[in-house]
């Protein structure tokens, strides 16, 4: 399995992490995050999905638990803006260098402002996409926040 930019970023930073692979074809009828939770038998509050939004026009990454949904007003406030809307999927893919369902908050082609839901800090480890559908990475939330150069805020409904 070739290393993704996210995995290479973790290796360069010497951050402790564990990769978890699963068959992404079982995503039928599920969102990508839900498919990862089901395939890996994980707590949906501890597995996080990476979403790309526009805050006052600027692309911004939101990392929220699969168990919840992104609160766009809270994201706008956390990012210092007034209004947030979901980004066009093609813009998200082009800017991050990843495909939908495999967008990682780590190792993106262009570093975007990132907000991680503060609930991540409640767990010893969390899972996020490792940069490919069917591959999650488990790491300490402090490492996720540090390596994504993120801030934390309550951005989940």
Closest CA to 4 of 133, 145, 138, 127: 133
Average pLDDT over residues 12-35: 85
Q: If you average pLDDT over residues 93-112, what whole number do you get?
A: 95
Token pair recorded at residue 75 = 């994201």
Q: What is the pLDDT of residues 52-97, one digit of tens each?
A: 999 999 999 999 999 999 999 999 999 999 999 999 999 999 999 9
For residue 26, the model assigns a pLDDT of: 63
pLDDT computed for residue 141 by the predictor: 98
Q: Average pLDDT, whole number, for the chain?
A: 94
Beta strands in 9-94 (DSSP E): 17-21, 48-55, 58-65, 84-86
Residue 27 confidence (pLDDT) above 90: no
Distance CA 56, CA 60 (A): 10
- Sheet with 126-132, strands from edge to edge, namely 17-21, 135-139, 126-132
State the pLDDT at residue 81: 97
What's phi and psi for 120, nearest 5 deg?
Answer: -60, -35
What per-residue confidence (pLDDT) applies to 91? Answer: 96
pLDDT at 131 > cutoff 70: yes
CA distances from 46 to 17, 71, 128 (A): 15, 18, 9
Above 90 in pLDDT, residue 25? no
- What is d(CA 137, CA 129) in angstroms, rounded to the nearest whole number? 6
Single pTM value for the model: 0.95
Does pLDDT of 122 surpass 70? Answer: yes
In this structure, what is the dihedral angle of CA atoms 95, 101, 102, 108, given to the nearest 10 degrees?
A: 20
The predicted structure's pLDDT at residue 51 = 97
Please state whether beta strands 135-139 and 114-117 pair in parallel, antiparallel, or not at all (unpaired). unpaired
Res 2 pLDDT > 80 = no
pLDDT at 24: 81
So what's the pLDDT on residue 92? 97
For residue 28, pLDDT over 80 is answered with no
- Which residue segments constitute the domains of the chain, with CATH numbers given? 5-153 (3.90.960.10)
């Amino acid at each position: 399995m070739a290393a993704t930019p996210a995995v290479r970023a973790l290796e360069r930073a010497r951050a402790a992490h564990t990769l978890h692979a699963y068959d992404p074809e079982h995503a039928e009828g599920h969102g990508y995050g839900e498919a990862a939770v089901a395939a890996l038998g994980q707590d949906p509050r501890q597995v996080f999905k990476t979403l790309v939004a526009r805050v006052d026009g600027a692309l911004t990454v939101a990392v929220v638990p699969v168990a919840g949904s992104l609160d766009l007003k809270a994201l706008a406030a956390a990012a210092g803006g007034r209004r947030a809307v979901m980004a066009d999927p093609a813009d998200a893919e082009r800017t991050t260098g990843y495909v939908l369902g495999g967008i990682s908050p780590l190792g993106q082609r262009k570093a975007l402002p990132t907000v991680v839901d503060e609930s991540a800090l409640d767990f010893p480890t969390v899972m996020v996409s490792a940069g490919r559908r069917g591959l999650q990475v488990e790491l300490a939330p402090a490492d996720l926040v540090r390596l994504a150069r993120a801030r934390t805020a309550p951005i989940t409904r």
